[in-house]
């Protein structure tokens, strides 16, 4: 308990800095708008326009466009960024067993997470639709969405915790259940290749709530009259779902699947905090960080970032096209 | 005025890609048939899913109030056999200072100091830009807006290395709060501009035209009409950005320098969990300290949270 005093001085110092930052920001924005307001009559509109969009555009140009272009270029240079190496970084990527494993893992993630999350989320949304306590039931499954991936990682580290049989009591619930049923406790996060699937479970646990909330909103948007008509025609619950609800929520389904796919491709925190990418569990986003910031291999890191970009690109393009089509329909 | 916001707010409650208007369904609720589609089997399945989804978090919460000795030696479910309750883990991880201690008090402060400006800066700049794109006519407006929208597809990973080089080489601010603020602001802008534009462009033209006729210029319109009308959207998007920053690990790892001076909770937690064996009695309490703010936001502002999520789910 010693040393609460340094904590308070530390706190005041940091909040002071924050206040200073906020005031500085307000002052800059205020001055820009004020100057634009008082600009000479001639061309005032241009000045005001600049005042409104220049700050955002400047930040984006310097902080996002330039870096992205530079990363794309660095992908073809060596670790220091001085020497052009052509496609060597990509050749390295596809010849190293470790990195190939990383690429394959990423594909497994992106195949499983959207599928499982969407199916479970959709089933749950249908099951609880119009039921008593729907709100509470929704909150329970949706809650993991609010917490950080790191927090989720810790929660599941405890679920998966392993103790050698006979040496100690299990403290992880899953292994305890296995032991209760007379099984052998498993090292869920160490034994490859299954450990990747146990990491995927964590992501599914988080994303299911997201899928459920969106799909639930969509289900409620399907006109009751059509469902009613189908029911009167003698369709059973499954047929009603299959022939009325499902077509009615197709647009939302596409958005849910693509959104979760994109989030999954970029998954970093879960792998980082649960296995650190060891035991053959690494994924592209994690490997990119390891290469660039732990090993200072900026060439390799940039190449991996570029691969990630190329994986995300088609999904986003598809997503945007679907959304635009829907806008036209609407 | 309320009509205007109601209409625009309704839009916030609709997920992207949603074709039907959920409100229409609500209106016809009266005609909703009494019988339930859900069978007993479905109810049981739903309850199982709900339980399975809740148990991991519940287990962590229970663990966090058991003694360190108990956490090490047996599972949290034993609390039902031998009940115990202590807050010493929380006291330990929050207040103990020193190199090997969790020292989460400092990191908690850091998380707040990072997340508040990192939520405010981008939404203010985005609102300004969104207003310009929606209501100031200029050449290339459409093209630039599409470009900004397209920037959302650039993964953070693409920008990290060069941006870090700019921060450390050109500006010399790497590892400080301003570096983290600026990084989060930049990464948040494409989505916030897009979302604010969606909202601001829905404001009826007559309202703005009337102000122009009265002699108001852009700055005045912005402060007197746009900001007040956009408050619900600002709240949703602000909350979403705040939580995104609060939960972020990647940006923190790259730009915060990783010390108790600047780094947020997520970074410290990742470190602690990296040495799981040594820290396991601290981790439940430590994790809950990082979850408490998101959970409060989630349960008290769920409506705003859901809206932000429906709109902002493509971020990253």
- Put simply, whether B141 touches A (Cβ < 8 Å) is no
Closest Cα in chain A, distance from residue B2 (Å): 24
SS (H, E, C) chain B: CHHHHHHHHHHHCCCCCCCCCHHHHHHHHHHCCCCCCCCHHHHHHHHHHHHHHHHHHHHHHHHHCCCHHHHHHCCHHHHHCCCCCCCHHHHHHHHCCCCCCCCHHHHHHHHHHHHHHHHHHHHHHHHHHHHHHHHCCCCCHHHHHHHHHHHCCCCHHHHHHHHHHHHHHHHCCCCCHHHHHHHHHHHHHHHHHHHHHHHHCCCCHHHHHHHHHCCCCHHHHHHHHHHHHHHHHHHHHHHHHHHHHHHCCHHHHHHCCCCCCCCCHHHHHHHHHHCHHHHCCCHHHHHHHHHHHHHHHHHHCHHHHHHHHHHHCCCC
Residue B105, pLDDT above cutoff 60? yes
What is the per-residue pLDDT for B125?
A: 95
Over residues B5-32, mean pLDDT: 49
- Put simply, whether B316 touches A (Cβ < 8 Å) is yes
**Element (DSSP H or E) covering residue A222:** none
Cα A13–Cα A16–Cα A21 angle in degrees, nearest 5: 130
Closest Cα in chain B, distance from residue A97 (Å): 22
Lowest mean pLDDT among A66-80, B115-129, B137-151: B137-151
Burial class of A182 by CB neighbour count within 10 A (0 to 12, 13 to 18, 19+) = exposed
Lowest mean pLDDT among A81-95, B12-26, B177-191, B274-288: B12-26
B77·A309 Cβ contact <8 A: no
- Local confidence band at B312 (pLDDT 50, 70, 90 cut-offs): low
Identify the residue with better confidence: B23 or B202: B202
Closest Cα in chain A, distance from residue B52 (Å): 9
Residue B281, pLDDT above cutoff 70? yes
Between B73, B166, B297, which is nearest A169 by CB?
A: B73
B131·A18 Cβ contact <8 A: no
Identify the residue with better confidence: A26 or B278: A26
Between A2, A146, A259, which is nearest B297 by CB?
A: A146
* Count of residues in chain B: 316
Which residue in B10, B12, B14, B19 has the most chain A C-beta atoms within 10 A of its own C-beta, making it the best mutation to test that interface? B19
CA distance A39 to B189: 27
Decide if A113 contacts A291 (C-beta within 8 A). no
Closest Cα in chain A, distance from residue B26 (Å): 8
- Local confidence band at B97 (pLDDT 50, 70, 90 cut-offs): low
Residues of chain B in contact with residue A218, where contact means CB-CB under 8 angstroms, are: 15, 18, 20
In sequence order, the 6+-apart residues with CB closer than 8 A to the CB of A83 are A77
Residue A130, pLDDT above cutoff 90? no
B283·A154 Cβ contact <8 A: yes
Q: What is the DSSP letter of A41?
A: S
Range of A146-155, B97-106, B141-150, B197-206 with top mean pLDDT: A146-155
Between A49, A67, A285, which is nearest B138 by CB?
A: A49
- Put simply, whether B48 touches A (Cβ < 8 Å) is no
Residue A308, pLDDT above cutoff 60? yes
Between B17, B28, B112, which is nearest A252 by CB?
A: B17
What is the per-residue pLDDT for B68?
A: 85
Q: What is the DSSP letter of A79?
A: T
Over residues B213-233, mean pLDDT: 87
Please name each of the domains of chain B with its CATH number: 39-86 (no CATH), 107-312 (1.10.3720.10)
- Put simply, whether B218 touches A (Cβ < 8 Å) is yes
Residues 175-204 of B with CB under 8 A from A: 177-178, 181-183, 185-187, 189-190, 193
Over residues A213-237, mean pLDDT: 86
Identify the residue with better confidence: B8 or A183: A183
In sequence order, the 6+-apart residues with CB closer than 8 A to the CB of A24 are none
Quick one: closest CA in B to A36, which residue?
Answer: B219
Over residues A239-247, mean pLDDT: 88
- Local confidence band at B10 (pLDDT 50, 70, 90 cut-offs): low
What is the per-residue pLDDT for B29?
A: 43
Residues of chain A in contact with residue B37, where contact means CB-CB under 8 angstroms, are: 126, 129-130, 237, 240
A88-124 pLDDT, tens digit per residue, is 999 999 999 999 999 999 999 999 999 999 999 999 9
Instruction: Quickly tell me which residue has 């009695």 as its tokens.
Output: B281
Residue B27, pLDDT above cutoff 50? no
ipTM: 0.86
Over residues A294-311, mean pLDDT: 90
Residues of chain A in contact with residue B226, where contact means CB-CB under 8 angstroms, are: none
Cα radius of gyration rounded to whole Å, chain A: 26
Closest residue by Cα to residue B248 from B262, B235, B264: B264
Closest Cα in chain A, distance from residue B271 (Å): 8
Q: What are phi and psi of A139, to 5 degrees?
A: -55, -40
What is the per-residue pLDDT for B310?
A: 64
What is the per-residue pLDDT for B13?
A: 60
Residue B98, pLDDT above cutoff 70? no
**Element (DSSP H or E) covering residue A81:** none
- Local confidence band at B12 (pLDDT 50, 70, 90 cut-offs): low
B269·A154 Cβ contact <8 A: yes
Closest Cα in chain A, distance from residue B203 (Å): 18
A155-193 pLDDT, tens digit per residue, is 999 999 888 887 778 888 999 999 899 888 889 988 888
Quick one: closest CA in B to A11, which residue?
Answer: B109
- Put simply, whether A229 touches B (Cβ < 8 Å) is no
- For residue A270, is the peptide bond before it cis, meaning its omega torsion is within 30 degrees of 0? no
Closest residue by Cα to residue A92 from A231, A299, A326: A299
Between B16, B73, B155, which is nearest A312 by CB?
A: B155
Closest Cα in chain B, distance from residue A47 (Å): 10
Which residue in B155, B192, B300 has the most chain A C-beta atoms within 10 A of its own C-beta, making it the best mutation to test that interface? B155
What is the per-residue pLDDT for A47?
A: 86
């Amino acid at each position: 308990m010693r040393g609460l005093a340094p904590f308070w001085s530390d706190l005041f110092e940091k909040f002071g800095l924050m206040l200073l930052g906020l005031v500085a920001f307000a002052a800059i924005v205020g001055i820009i708008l004020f100057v634009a307001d008082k600009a000479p009559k001639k061309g005032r509109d241009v000045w005001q326009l600049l005042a409104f969009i220049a700050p955002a555009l400047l930040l984006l140009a310097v902080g996002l466009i330039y870096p992205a272009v530079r990363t794309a270029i660095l992908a073809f240079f060596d670790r220091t960024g001085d020497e052009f190496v052509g496609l060597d970084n990509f050749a390295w990527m596809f010849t190293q067993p470790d990195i190939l494993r990383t690429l394959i893992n990423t594909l497994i993630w992106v195949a499983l997470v959207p599928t499982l999350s969407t199916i479970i989320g959709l089933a749950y949304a249908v099951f609880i639709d119009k039921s008593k306590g729907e709100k509470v039931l929704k909150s329970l499954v949706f809650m993991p969405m609010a917490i950080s991936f790191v927090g989720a990682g810790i929660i599941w580290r405890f679920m998966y915790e392993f103790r050698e049989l006979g040496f100690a009591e299990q403290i992880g619930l899953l292994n305890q259940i296995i032991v209760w049923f007379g099984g052998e406790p498993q090292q869920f996060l160490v034994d490859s290749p299954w450990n990747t699937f146990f990491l995927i479970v964590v992501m599914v646990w988080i994303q299911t709530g997201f899928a459920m909330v969106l799909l639930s909103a969509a289900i409620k948007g399907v006109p009751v009259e059509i469902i009613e008509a189908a029911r009167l025609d003698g369709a059973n619950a499954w047929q009603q779902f299959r022939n009325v609800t499902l077509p009615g929520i197709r647009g939302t389904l596409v958005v849910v699947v693509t959104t979760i796919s994109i989030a999954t491709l970029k998954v970093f925190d879960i792998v980082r905090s649960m296995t650190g990418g060891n035991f053959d569990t690494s994924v592209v986003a994690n490997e990119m960080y390891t290469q660039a910031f732990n090993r200072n291999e900026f060439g390799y890191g940039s190449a991996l970032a570029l691969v990630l970009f190329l994986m995300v690109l088609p999904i986003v393009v598809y997503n945007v096209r679907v959304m635009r089509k829907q806008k036209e329909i609407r | 005025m309320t009509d205007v916001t109601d209409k625009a707010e309704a839009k916030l409650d609709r997920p992207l890609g949603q074709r039907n208007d959920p409100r229409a369904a609500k209106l016809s609720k009266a005609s909703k048939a009494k019988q339930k589609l859900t069978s007993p089997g479905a109810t049981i399945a739903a309850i199982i899913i709900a339980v399975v989804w809740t148990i991991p978090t519940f287990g962590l919460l229970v663990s966090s109030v058991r003694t360190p000795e108990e956490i090490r030696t047996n599972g949290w479910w034993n609390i039902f056999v031998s009940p115990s309750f202590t807050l010493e883990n929380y006291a330990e991880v929050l207040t103990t200072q020193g190199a090997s201690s969790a020292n989460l008090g400092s990191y908690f402060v850091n998380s707040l100091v990072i997340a508040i400006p990192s939520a405010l800066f981008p939404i203010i700049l985005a609102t300004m830009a969104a207003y310009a794109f929606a209501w100031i006519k200029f050449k290339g407006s459409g093209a630039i807006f599409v470009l900004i929208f397209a920037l959302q597809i650039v993964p953070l990973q693409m920008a990290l290395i060069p941006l870090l080089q700019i921060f450390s080489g050109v500006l010399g601010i790497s590892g400080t709060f301003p570096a983290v603020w600026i990084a989060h602001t930049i990464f948040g802008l494409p989505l916030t501009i897009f979302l604010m534009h969606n909202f601001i462009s829905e404001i009826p033209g007559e309202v703005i035209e009337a102000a122009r006729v009265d002699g108001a210029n852009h700055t005045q319109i912005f402060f007197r009409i746009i900001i007040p009308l956009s408050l619900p959207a600002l709240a949703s998007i602000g909350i979403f950005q705040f939580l995104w920053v609060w939960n972020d690990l990647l940006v923190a790892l790259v730009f915060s320098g990783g010390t108790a001076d600047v780094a947020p909770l997520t970074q410290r937690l990742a470190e602690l969990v990296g040495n799981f064996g040594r820290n396991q009695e601290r981790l439940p309490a430590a994790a809950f300290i990082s979850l408490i703010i998101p959970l409060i936001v989630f349960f008290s502002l769920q409506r705003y949270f859901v809206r932000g999520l429906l709109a902002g789910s493509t971020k990253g």
